[in-house]
Amino acid sequence: MRKRRFTEINVVPFIDIVLVLLVIVLATATFIVKKELPVDLPKSGSSAKTPPKSYTVTIDSNGTFFYDKKRVTIEELKTQLSKLDPKKDLVTVDADQKSQFQKFVTIVDILKSKGFQKISITTVK
């Protein structure tokens, strides 16, 4: 009886298994994706739900401003806030706990100068 030496490895079954696993991972990953900005909110002892009709100003950890999930500059933010009714509309401020406090103060100053009466700050309980 002759001994046969294996000089090649058949990788086709391995590729099939890897492709099936890839399809499974990609199919399940689409259900996990969050459609929110990645902001690490500061902690608070209490939390309140915001009404459904509100506008959100977000400051991420890099200090970038967003208005309703759209990246804006300070001037664009002032323009957007000027379109709102300061007595009726609620503006929620989401500031990443790693962002500069000065950025948060800038947003609050803008809201106060425009006369907004309903301002909410989002925290995590």
What whole-number percentage of the chain has pLDDT above 90?
14
Residue of 122 and 19 predicted with greater confidence: 19
Q: What is the pLDDT of residue 8?
A: 79
How do the domains of the chain map onto residue ranges? Answer: 54-121
What is the reported pTM?
A: 0.58
pLDDT digits (tens, 9 = 90+) for 27-80: 776 655 555 566 676 776 666 655 557 888 999 888 899 998 899 999 999 999
* Enclosing H/E stretch for 94: strand 90-95
Q: Judge whether 98 and 59 are in contact, CB under 8 Å.
A: no
54-121: what fold?
Answer: Nucleotidyltransferase; domain 5 (3.30.420)
Q: Judge whether 120 and 51 are in contact, CB under 8 Å.
A: no
Sign of CA dihedral 33, 61, 74, 122: positive
Q: Which two tokens stand for residue 91?
A: 């503006």
**Closest alpha carbon to 101 in 66, 69, 63, 71:** 63
